């Protein structure tokens, strides 16, 4: 399953900058992951300061 970002997201942008396939974009109040683009590499979960990205 692709990764998804929870409501814990504080919109810091670290995950989007680190995603190797540019699957993450800024949404309404939090960042969002395009599940069709995500390769499940886990990089976003590693850099997130609040643990918002998780495998759905």
Residues that bind ligand SF4 (CB under 6 A): 3, 5, 9-15, 19, 21, 23-24, 31, 33, 38-44, 47-50, 52-53
Residue 38 Cβ, how far from ligand SF4 at the closest point, in Å?
3
Distance CA 8, CA 20 (A): 22
Residue 17 Cβ, how far from ligand SF4 at the closest point, in Å?
9
Find the length of the chain.
56
Helix, coil or strand: residue 47:
helix
Residue 56 Cβ, how far from ligand SF4 at the closest point, in Å?
11
Lookup: tokens for 14: 């670290």
């Amino acid at each position: 399953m692709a990764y998804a970002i929870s409501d814990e997201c504080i919109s810091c942008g670290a995950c989007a900058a680190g995603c190797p396939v540019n699957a993450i974009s800024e949404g309404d109040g939090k960042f969002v992951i395009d599940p069709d683009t995500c390769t499940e590499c886990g990089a976003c979960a590693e850099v997130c300061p609040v643990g918002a990205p998780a495998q759905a």
